[in-house]
Structure 1
Amino acid sequence: MFYRVARVLARIFFMLLGLKSSGLHNLPMKGPVIIAANHVSMWDPFVVAVVTPRPIHFMAKAEFFEWTLLAWLLGKVNAFPVHRKAGDRTALRRSIAILEKQEVLGIFPEGFRNRSGELKGQTGTAMIAVKTGAPIVPVACVGTDRFFPLGWLHPFEVRVGEPILMTDYSGQKVKSAVLDSISEQVMTEIETLLLK
């Protein structure tokens, strides 16, 4: 209930600021899905959530959960902590459980905010996808680093690409070469969306 109300209010706010979206038909309406987006601004998870019809469980850096009120709020909007500097088995197990419940997992494959424009994904997203068979939907957040609080009325948009299916990898062992290949494909698709 809290998530739905927050999403409606956030949607109104961002639409008034000029948020646009494209490719929403590429989002599967049922089954497990991993949304993999670039990360240039603190606003990215919010704008992705408001254009996505299904609730998203976003990974968020563990430091955010050190503040009681913020931790409570993040929990209410389905976010959960991940320790980024080391392999976080708890976050991995939670991610897999979310997908096994046929829900939507939100990940920023780069692992941190990156305004450089050079996309370099880590392999965690690919590993979760191969383990669960969930498709990865590439998403590009465009212009979110240039609007409020840095300035009003700059165009910004969420662009959704076609799902990357894991059918070719089902039954395969999770080898580093496979994970690297999937990660590269995801980041290439995001880069293509950014250049549209």
Structure 2
Amino acid sequence: MLYRFIRVIARFLMKLLFLYKTTGTEHIPEKGPVVLCCNHISNLDPPLLAVSIERKVHFMAKAELFRIPVLGSLIQRLGAFPVKRGAGDRQALKKAIQLLKDGHTVGIFPEGTRSKTGEMGPFHFGAALIALKGKAPIVPVAICGSFRLFRPIRIVFGSPIDVAPFLQEKVGTATAKQVTELVVNEIRSLKEQTGE
């Protein structure tokens, strides 16, 4: 209930201030596990992604945010969970995988940090590993534009990447890197389609 209420308000503000438009939302499965992998250009990326679709999105968020009074409690109630940056956080990985096994949507920004130039930075393979372990399709997402008031910004959802063919062998780093490369290429392609 809280999530829906906040989403209605956030959706109105995003429409008003950033004139956002979405394309490709039909690619998001209506039910079952799915990982949304998106490029990262602003602190507003998570709420923008959340208001763009009807399904509730559970985000990995840097652990420091959960120590901020009020904000930490709020984002936790909205479904976010902490991840410690700079090291492999097994607890966060387990939490994400369990959410997928329970049929939820998990949103991840594989760059790990915002791009100050708008150019895509290196993608970590953790998101792909989570999708593989959770046996969930990956929907690549491109946020195109800049978060400047009254300047249009677009969220483009690509076709799901089926991870099933990669599950024929033992899932490990090499497989996760292969899937990550596919995701990166798809997001680049989506950005190019919008002229970025």
Q: TM-score, normalised by structure 1?
A: 0.94
| Correspondence list, 1:125-144, <5 A | 125-143=127-145
Task: Indicate whether 1:161 and 2:158 are aligned.
Answer: yes
Partner residue, 1:12: 12
| Correspondence list, 1:53-72, <5 A | 53-72=54-73
* Counterpart among 115, 120, 123 of residue 121 in structure 1: 123
**Matched residues, percent identical?**
41
After superposing on structure 2, the runs of 4+ consecutive aligned residues of structure 1 that deviate more than 3 Å are: none
Partner residue, 2:97: 96
Task: Indicate whether 1:195 and 2:156 are aligned.
Answer: no
Counterpart residue identity of residue 163, structure 2: M
| Correspondence list, 1:143-154, <5 A | 143=145, 145-147=146-148, 152-154=149-151
Asked whether the 8 Å contact 2:140–2:183 carries over to 1, the reply is yes
CA drift of 1:127 comes to 0.7
Counterpart residue identity of residue 7, structure 1: R
SS at match of 1:54: coil
SS at match of 1:111: coil
Unmatched segments (≥5 aa) in structure 1: none
CA distance in 2: counterparts of 1:96 and 1:53, whole angstroms:
21
CA distance in 1: counterparts of 2:80 and 2:62, whole angstroms:
10
SS at match of 1:113: coil
Q: Considering only aligned residues, what root-mean-square deviation do their CA atoms show, in Å?
A: 1.1
CA drift of 1:43 comes to 0.8
Asked whether the 8 Å contact 1:36–1:136 carries over to 2, the reply is yes
CA distance in 2: counterparts of 1:183 and 1:19, whole angstroms:
27
Partner residue, 1:178: 175
Asked whether the 8 Å contact 1:119–1:191 carries over to 2, the reply is no
Flag the 1:119–1:187 CA change in 2: closer, same or farther, 3 A.
farther
CA drift of 1:110 comes to 0.8
Q: How many residues align?
A: 191
Unmatched segments (≥5 aa) in structure 2: none
Asked whether the 8 Å contact 1:139–1:158 carries over to 2, the reply is yes
Q: TM-score, normalised by structure 2?
A: 0.94
Q: Which moved more, 1:115-124 or 1:18-27?
A: 115-124
